Amino acid sequence: MIRKTVLALTVFSMSMSAFAINLNNTVWETNWNVMTFWQDGNQVTGEYMYDGGILTGTLSGDTLHGWWREYNNSSACGPENSWSGPLAFKFSIDGKSFTGDWGYCGKDPATLNYAGSGWTGTIKEGVVSYTQQECENAGRFWVNNKCSLVPIDSVITKDICERSGRFWCTDTCTMSPCNSTAVRNPISRRTISNANKSNIYKTSGEHFNLRGERVMDNRRGINIYVNQNGSGKTMVILQP
C-alpha cells in the first residue's frame, strides 16, 4: 500500500509538472503569422503579426481560453466589449505546440474546438524576439535590433497605437482595455495597470490626485503612479 501510494504521488507530480507551461517571452510560428506571448501567473497576453492582432487569456493547465482583437475587425465582445472574438488553445504536453479555434463575437466560447486547426502554432525554440524580416514584413520598424511600432526618435501616436491593435489609454499605448487592472507592457516586459489614472493633475513638476496626495515617482525614465488611499498601493508603470 505504501509503495502504491508513493508511486501514485510520483505519477501525479509528473503529470502536474508536465502541464506547468511557461509562455512568457516566447515566439511562435502560427497560421496567423509569427506570434509572441507574455505571461504573468496564469494571465497571458500576446500579439501576432497579422492585421495588428493581439490576444488576452487565462492559462489553465494545458489550455488557454480568451479573446483576440484585430485592427480591421469590429470589437464588441469580451472584457469591456473591446475584443473581436473568443479563442481557445490546447498546448502539447511539452509546451512546444498548440492547436485551437477562434470565432467572431457571435460565437459561443464553449463551442470552440481546442483540438481544432483554426489556430495552430509551433514554438521557435531559443528565440525571444522577432527577426528583422518578420518585423518589417508586418509594417514595423527595426530599431536598435528590436522591432518597434515607430521609427527611431519617433513617438507612438493614437493612430499608430490603434493600428497595432492596442488600446489608447490616457496618452499611453497598452495591450488591454483602459479600465483593466493589469495589462502587459510589450516593450518593457513589466506588468502595468490602467486603474487610478483619472483625476490626476500636475503642479510644480510633481503629480497629485484630487485629494492632494502625491501619486507619481520617476525611476529610471519610467513613470510610476501610486494610488495612496490607505488600502494598499496600486502601481501603474507607463512605457519609458
Share of the chain above pLDDT 70, in %: 67
Residue pair 147/129 in contact (Cβ under 8 Å)? The answer is yes
What residue spans define the domains of the chain?
18-123, 183-240
For 129-145, what is each residue's pLDDT tens digit? 999 999 999 999 999 99
Residue pair 237/185 in contact (Cβ under 8 Å)? The answer is yes
Please, which pLDDT band fits residue 201 given cuts at 50, 70 and 90?
Answer: very low
Q: What is the CB-side half-sphere exposure of residue 233 using CA atoms within 13 A?
A: 11
Q: What is the CB-side half-sphere exposure of residue 138 using CA atoms within 13 A?
A: 26
For 141-197, what is each residue's pLDDT tens digit? 999 999 999 999 899 999 999 999 999 998 899 998 887 654 343 333 333 344 433
Rounded mean pLDDT of 1-8? 40
User: Does residue 113 have a pLDDT over 60?
Assistant: yes
Rounded mean pLDDT of 21-43? 95
Most confident option among 74-78, 177-181, 227-231 = 74-78
Can you give the pLDDT at residue 179? 77
Q: Which of 80-89, 132-141, 205-214 has the lowest mean pLDDT?
A: 205-214
Can you give the pLDDT at residue 180? 65
Rounded mean pLDDT of 50-70? 95
CATH fit for domain 18-123, picks 3.40.50, 1.10.1760, 2.40.160, 1.10.150:
2.40.160
DSSP code, position 164: T
Hey, what's the cell of 54? 493581439
* Average pLDDT, rounded, for the chain: 76
Among 83, 80, 82, 121, residue whose Cα is nearest residue 101 = 121
Rounded mean pLDDT of 80-100? 96
Q: Which of 14-28, 146-160, 178-192, 216-230 has the lowest mean pLDDT?
A: 216-230
- Indicate the helix (H) or strand (E) that contains 40: strand 35-40
Please, which pLDDT band fits residue 222 given cuts at 50, 70 and 90?
Answer: very low
